[in-house]
Structure 1
Amino acid sequence: MENKKIEKQIYEVNPHTMIILPHVTGESLFSRVIEIGSDSISKFTPFELIKTSCKYFGANYEGRKEGTKHLIGITHKPPIIIDPMSYMYAFPTASPNNSNCVWVFPQHIKEYSATSDNQTLLQFSNFETVKIDISLTSFNNQIARTSMLHMKFSQKMRLMEAQFPYTNRFFPSSGIVAEPFTPYKTSPNNNPHNPFTD
């Protein structure tokens, strides 16, 4: 098991979650969860962890998926907001029901680039690297969709707070969701026209 402890309890994503990968052991599909400072195996599938985490933050996966459809019109491999207050956005690299699907939390990505075998190499903010089976073009599409979702949601929150500035007396302001995403960078040699390149 590569010296990784198998977590028997359901894992709930948190602001340190960077990526959830499928991990096959025998005939069982588990999850490899990489956080800032930890790397562990959960006995649940990546999609099970995503769905449970949505519920933990007061929604279900189908509701989050419908929210994405409403805001940006995406229904195929949609990015989702797990928890907007703590910047937890995630997107799948394939259909969520596909056993090869990886869930990426782009707020932790420092930069990424294409590999020679048409995959994508990610470098996270803690300088850890992971190679995933998705082309750079498809990965850029998912990054763009997630950024659009973040922007549309932030616009709606700013509009609501401008129209109803005194209604939030008992809870903290949700203005935090209007903060910009950490910029992503790709290798200029692989994608010279990427809008996220510095």
Structure 2
Amino acid sequence: MGEEIREDYIINANTMGVFSNLHPTRLSKILEPNRVIYCTKTPKQIISESCLTGGSTFVGRQLAMEKILQTKSKLPIPVNPSEGTFMFPTMSPRNMYCGWISFYHVKQYEENKGEGGSKVVFTDESIMDIATSGYSIKRQMQLTGLAIATFSRPLYLKS
């Protein structure tokens, strides 16, 4: 699996996840199919800058999700809905260890029995252990699916 280090990163269709990395300068670990990218920015900075590239601010996307999903906690973010880039947080985005997972790159997930947390299998068969329960991952997948359905509605309901 190839590795590289970058100062900037914009979430795109290849981004499987953006995670906090415990390193003094490589603050994020980004997974793409068969490669790992380390970035000097935090996951929150990366997702915020990526939202701007997608046409809105992180806060704007968050407010839209609050209204659509009628909840305020751990909201999925449509980073760039026109490109199908929807990410959901592994924990509260206020937590410095919050990671972001791409809905379309999750192949399966399961609870780590007895160990706590979950195992996420991505579309390239890579596996990531995260400190989030299987129930929470399931809820995040459901919320993100609802967000995607809402954004896709105009494609199927023509007036």
TM-score (norm 1): 0.74
The higher radius of gyration belongs to: 1
Query: 1:23-72: per-residue Cα shift (whole Å, max 9, x none)?
Result: 0114x570000011320110000000000000011111011111111211
Gaps of 5+ in 2: none
Task: Please list every run of at least 4 consecutive aligned residues from structure 1 whose deviation after the TM superposition is greater than 3 angstroms.
Answer: 156-159
For the Cα contact (< 8 Å) 2:54–2:81, is it kept in 1?
A: no
Q: How far has the Cα of 1:6 moved from its partner? A: 2.5
Question: Percent identity over the alignment?
Answer: 25
The alignment status of 1:112 with 2:117, answered yes or no, reads no
Q: 2:145 aligns with which of 144, 147, 151?
A: 147
For the Cα contact (< 8 Å) 2:30–2:38, is it kept in 1?
A: yes
Matching of residues 66-105 of structure 1 within 5 Å: 66-105=63-102
Q: How far has the Cα of 1:4 moved from its partner? A: 4.2
- Equivalent position amino acid for 2:4 in 1: K
Return the alpha-carbon distance in structure 2 between the equivalents of residues 5 and 49 of structure 1: 16
Do the aligned partners of residues 29 and 101 (structure 1) sit closer, same or farther apart at CA in structure 2, a change above 3 Å counting?
Answer: farther
Q: Specify the alignment match of 1:37 in structure 2.
A: 34
Matching of residues 56-67 of structure 1 within 5 Å: 56-67=53-64
TM-score (norm 2): 0.92
Q: Specify the alignment match of 2:130 in structure 1.
A: 132
Q: Specify the alignment match of 1:17 in structure 2.
A: 15
Do the aligned partners of residues 31 and 98 (structure 1) sit closer, same or farther apart at CA in structure 2, a change above 3 Å counting?
Answer: same
Which secondary structure state, in structure 2, belongs to the residue aligned with residue 6 of structure 1?
strand
Return the alpha-carbon distance in structure 1 between the equivalents of residues 112 and 92 of structure 2: 22
Return the alpha-carbon distance in structure 2 between the equivalents of residues 72 and 52 of structure 1: 23
Q: Specify the alignment match of 1:171 in structure 2.
A: none
Q: How far has the Cα of 1:142 moved from its partner? A: 0.7
- Equivalent position amino acid for 1:145 in 2: L
Return the alpha-carbon distance in structure 1 between the equivalents of residues 68 and 156 of structure 2: 15
Return the alpha-carbon distance in structure 2 between the equivalents of residues 20 and 137 of structure 1: 21
Larger relative contact order (CA 8 Å, sep ≥ 6):
2
For the Cα contact (< 8 Å) 2:111–2:118, is it kept in 1?
A: yes
For the Cα contact (< 8 Å) 2:20–2:42, is it kept in 1?
A: yes
Over aligned residues, Cα RMSD in angstroms?
A: 1.6
For the Cα contact (< 8 Å) 1:20–1:102, is it kept in 2?
A: yes
Return the alpha-carbon distance in structure 1 between the equivalents of residues 26 and 92 of structure 2: 16
Deviates more, 1:45-54 or 1:109-118: 109-118
Q: How far has the Cα of 1:5 moved from its partner? A: 3.2
Gaps of 5+ in 1: 164-198
Do the aligned partners of residues 84 and 67 (structure 1) sit closer, same or farther apart at CA in structure 2, a change above 3 Å counting?
Answer: same
